[in-house]
Structure 1
Amino acid sequence: MIIKQTLSGEYDFDYKWFDIYNLDDHDIEVLKEKFHLTTEIISYINDIHERPHFDHDYITNSDLFVYDVPLWPTSETDHFTSLPIKFLMVHDILFTVHTPETTYMIEEFKTTAPKDIHSNKELVFAILFSVTKYFQRALSQLNSQRIVLDAHLSGSKIKNKDLQELAQVEKSLVFLSSSIRTNLMMLESLKNKKSGLHMNASEEEMCDDIIIEVQQASQTVKIYNEVTEEISATSNNILNNNLNDTMQFLTVWSLLLTVPTIVTGFFGMNVSLPILNKPIDWIIITVGTLLVMLWLLWYLKRHNRF
């Protein structure tokens, strides 16, 4: 689907912005016939696995930006992932290409677009700055989940559900960290004169603002990663300690129950014994067994065995 987008308000440059998602065969033919895009360029913008990068084509005089944005958890995926948004500038035309899951980011930008945009490059940077803020939103949500899980996992009783949710938080941080890192590499490459992207002072300032925002997100996700790893390690230590306590408890009771097993096995043999031939001998045997068990219990406790 190809939709011509318009911004609310008046702008002092004649922009042509087309938003593309769910690209089908008919749309591909329109891009080739009406906009004269090559098959190679269309394959680039239609690849959902494209990693963040910038490419300038000197032959067609086109600029391609690929930028990752966060994708919120769904019923199929329990953790944050990321998907690319592509920006293709061909002469005076801007194309944004994305999936339906990230359409709302474009729609939100249209309602909050700044009024001081003077070129297609500034429009691209304005959209990039807008979608970059979604990383902070995602990280804030993950931090809220982490705080709740930290409270649950700090107790002596740790539930499997909490551990599974912590694992999803860790997965989310891995995806977001990777996307933020590659986005930062792409943005920093734009500052290189060899990139082929020529920017004026205003465009460079907007690019610097995005880089600062991404760097802040990079530092935030790094801190959250470290804290989450500490929570995971602490939870594992608590689980191991609980397991040790359980095994120690079972071992002590196994030793205590061994005493009556040995005694009853000895006196339960079907042979005559030279001692204890009175009807009340079972009381003596029971009392003696209990005394031995109490002594063993005292001995284990005195030597810090439990």
Structure 2
Amino acid sequence: MTTVTGRLWRDGEPQDDEFSFDAISDCLASDNQLVWADIYDPDHDALRALAGELHLNIWAVEDAVAPMERTKATVYHTHTFFTVYAVDSVTPPADDDISSTLSKHRISGFVLPRGLITVRLPSEDGVEFDIRTVSDRFDELGGQQYGVGALVHALLDVVVDGHFDAVQTLDDAIEGLEDELFADSGPRKGLQRSTFRLRKDLVELRRVVLPMREVVGAIQHRRIDAKTAPELDPLYADLYDHVLRASEWTESVRDLVTTVFETNLSLQDARLNTVMKKLTGWAAIIAVPTAVTGFYGQNVEYPGINTAAGFVASSVVIVLLVIVLYLMFKRRDWL
């Protein structure tokens, strides 16, 4: 079901009770007003009608509702279109080694000279993005005096902060795997599945984190070209730095999870070699009494046959050889 919320500022003062979706065109036409309209689960026909009213690029509108759209930013003559993915960390059940630890929320935006229109689609896992955090971040910045650039910055800043939290969650999970990997009792049974799940989550996260450099760079260059609100330039520079750090951190976590995966395989091979070495040692020890008793079990006459002395002699030989082999293998760490 389509839900529309929004905020309106006039001369830098909030006038949220006067916001009307039907009057967006009039609000955008006024030089002293700033409007933000958020459309959740949009109706395609209604969105196309709004695009025609605001002269939005029709292909950008299609991209806003198209499935599996990638993170990107496109600059048009009258507006800028972008698609980003906010990410939340979720905690699967303790015995669940398959479910993802990340929840993605797709947000598309049309940046106009005096307004921002965001389009959000429902999340596949049912976890919804709290759009109020963007509004709160904008108010903390005091962005009314800086126009739509501050509003876009608030949205992207919240998204990038979510990326940092997601990378931190994956990093902590990998550290937990490392502790299990080198535990004295050995790794638990589901370690391999947990590592594979983290690798899948990391691949999904990289797809939304790495292209953020393109999005922030395109919006910043558009602002610089238009020479609007130069006071925001340091904030956008800091935001771009955060995007770079998140990208680098994601790459380092990728190397870590690959190392954990390969190390686990190496440790499994080492454990298998140790087991085989011990089995071989015990097999050699067990072969001694088998050989001795087999010798005395021959159907031929030999010294000590059918006598107590022969039994004692064979038993002593078995015990001595077993002790010698055990001590020799133990000294060489074969047992």
Please give the TM-score of this superposition, normalised by the length of structure 2: 0.75
Instruction: Give the C-alpha shift of residue 298 in structure 1.
Output: 3.1
The one of 140, 144, 160 aligned to 2:172:
144
In the TM superposition, 1:55-70 aligns within 5 A as: 55-58=74-77, 61-70=78-87
One-letter amino acid of the structure 1 residue matched with residue 13 of structure 2? E
Instruction: Give the C-alpha shift of residue 183 in structure 1.
Output: 0.8
Which residue is equivalent to 1:4?
5
| Residues 59-79 of structure 1, C-alpha deviations (whole Å, 9 max, x = no match) | xx3321112322434768323
Structure 1 distance, partners of 2:304, 2:183, is 53
**Higher RCO, 1 vs 2 (CA within 8 Å, ≥6 residues apart):** 1
Cα distance change on mapping 1:40 and 1:190 into 2, 3 Å? closer
Cα distance change on mapping 1:86 and 1:74 into 2, 3 Å? farther
Which residue is equivalent to 1:263?
292
Taking every aligned residue pair, what percent have the same amino acid on both sides? Answer: 19
Structure 2 distance, partners of 1:104, 1:13, is 30
| Residues 251-293 of structure 1, C-alpha deviations (whole Å, 9 max, x = no match) | 1011111222233333334x23333322323333232222222
The one of 130, 134, 137 aligned to 1:109:
134
Cα distance change on mapping 1:304 and 1:130 into 2, 3 Å? closer
| Residues 221-272 of structure 1, C-alpha deviations (whole Å, 9 max, x = no match) | 3343444444445444443333222221111011111222233333334x23
| Residues 171-224 of structure 1, C-alpha deviations (whole Å, 9 max, x = no match) | 33333233221111332244557x997352235444323201212222333343
How many residues are paired up?
299
Which residue is equivalent to 2:249?
220
Structure 2 distance, partners of 1:17, 1:192, is 22
2:89 is equivalent to residue 72 of structure 1: yes
Please give the TM-score of this superposition, normalised by the length of structure 1: 0.81
Instruction: Give the C-alpha shift of residue 107 in structure 1.
Output: 2.2
One-letter amino acid of the structure 2 residue matched with residue 10 of structure 1? E
| Residues 47-102 of structure 1, C-alpha deviations (whole Å, 9 max, x = no match) | 241112111234xx332111232243476832336453211235655321223347
One-letter amino acid of the structure 2 residue matched with residue 64 of structure 1? F
- Kept in 1, the 8 Å contact 2:105–2:128? The answer is no
Cα distance change on mapping 1:120 and 1:173 into 2, 3 Å? same
One-letter amino acid of the structure 2 residue matched with residue 32 of structure 1? R
The one of 113, 123, 147 aligned to 2:151:
123
5+ residue gaps, structure 2, are 15-30, 93-97
Q: Secondary structure at the match of 1:49?
A: coil
One-letter amino acid of the structure 2 residue matched with residue 55 of structure 1? T
